[in-house]
Structure 1
């Protein structure tokens, strides 16, 4: 699950709310939707988070008041908000009221290649420190392409993977593009890699938007 502390003003870490989200994944690890719940200090109750989930990805000003946090940090914020002990994740799932659906479509494969191509899209911008940490977490090397921050590759679980970190616009969005050349091993290795990359960039303050597949 992903946890976010909501504050009254940008740069203010004092919590006024807590947002809990979980991506709903298809069999091929693309995102079909986002489940979630929101806790607000003013009514001390859980409510639907579908609108908040959409807003923090579309509204830069609101996004400035939202901080991705770990579960440990979320537990601390929840106590400060007067909620007591944050429920375990199984309990939080029972609070999800409305799913925010994400667009899905069948991937195109114009080249006939067996490789799968994914894009993990993020809202927000990376400062210099966050970018440096993202490079390290993703083990990126320079490519010489000004459109690409860096690229890396590995073999895992009988499959071959390559990925790139790209900026989309100025201060608008970022993405990690992953190419998977699947072999005979369990496909769960692909899911684990996509999850790791999504969390590695989210840890730098960006908000994951979706996981798409292009081929």
Structure 2
């Protein structure tokens, strides 16, 4: 059985763009997507904590608003567990509970609607591979140009010369475990959101590593301020 992926951590600020987020934090939210065996999302679990509250609580409505409410979106900052631990301690919470304990606070599950996969691209994989998959990860919030440039540096992509799909602002590729991964990042929905499109060509190795690669790519965008909404499999 594949190990569970780490939780996602967020800070809720009192106001957007605070110079010192630690001094302006209203609360901490931890989340975990509920995924199928092929890594598509079917639900979202979350728990929140506020310094003035009484312990941890769970709210599917808050998770929805973190992705749809513009005022709240401007105050949500993706963060790491290490940063969440420091701020939790600074705000009087003490030692941040282990992730196994945090998961016990997930009480208000948010289902995510799914549909049969749509086919994007050719039906058959190229020679040497036995399966072709296409994933799309949707994100809320926006990327600044310096964050896009940071992704290009991370993924060793160049603005000119590297093959990219129409509309893509940054792309990358990886050979791992006998499989090939190619991805690009673009705006979608009349420029109101971002997406990460990942094409996976499966070779002879086990496919258990696909989820880890998708997680790492998603985290790279989280680290630059985007909030994942769902992961869909097209085929």
Q: Is the TM-score greater than 0.5?
A: yes
The equivalent of 1:124 in structure 2 is 141
| Dislocated runs of 4+, deviation >6 Å | none
DSSP 3-state at the match of 1:107? coil
Q: Which has the higher strand share?
A: 1
Tell me how many residue pairs correspond in the alignment. Answer: 215
- The alignment status of 1:181 with 2:195, answered yes or no, reads no
Give the whole-Å Cα distance in 1 for the aligned partners of 2:66 and 2:191.
14
The equivalent of 2:213 in structure 1 is 193
Residues 210, 75 of structure 1: alpha-carbon distance in 2 compared, 3 angstrom cutoff: same
The equivalent of 1:70 in structure 2 is 80
Structure 1: stretches of 5+ with no match in the other structure: none
Give the whole-Å Cα distance in 2 for the aligned partners of 1:214 and 1:36.
26
Deviations 1:43-82 (A, max 9, x none): 2321113111100100122111111111111011212322
The equivalent of 2:34 in structure 1 is 24
More divergent stretch after superposition (11-20 vs 127-136): 127-136
Give the whole-Å Cα distance in 1 for the aligned partners of 2:139 and 2:54.
30
Q: Is the 8 A contact 2:185 2:196 kept in 1?
A: yes
Give the whole-Å Cα distance in 2 for the aligned partners of 1:26 and 1:139.
31
Give the whole-Å Cα distance in 1 for the aligned partners of 2:206 and 2:191.
37
Which among 97, 112, 120 is matched to residue 123 of structure 2?
A: 112
Structure 2: stretches of 5+ with no match in the other structure: 1-6, 125-130
The equivalent of 1:137 in structure 2 is 154
The equivalent of 2:167 in structure 1 is 147
Residues 33, 69 of structure 1: alpha-carbon distance in 2 compared, 3 angstrom cutoff: same
Q: CA deviation at 1:144?
A: 6.4
Q: Is the 8 A contact 1:44 1:82 kept in 2?
A: no
The equivalent of 2:43 in structure 1 is 33
Give the whole-Å Cα distance in 2 for the aligned partners of 1:94 and 1:144.
43
Q: Is the 8 A contact 2:12 2:29 kept in 1?
A: yes
Give the whole-Å Cα distance in 1 for the aligned partners of 2:234 and 2:158.
24
Q: TM-score when scaled to structure 1?
A: 0.93
Q: Is the 8 A contact 1:3 1:68 kept in 2?
A: yes
Residues 23, 144 of structure 1: alpha-carbon distance in 2 compared, 3 angstrom cutoff: closer
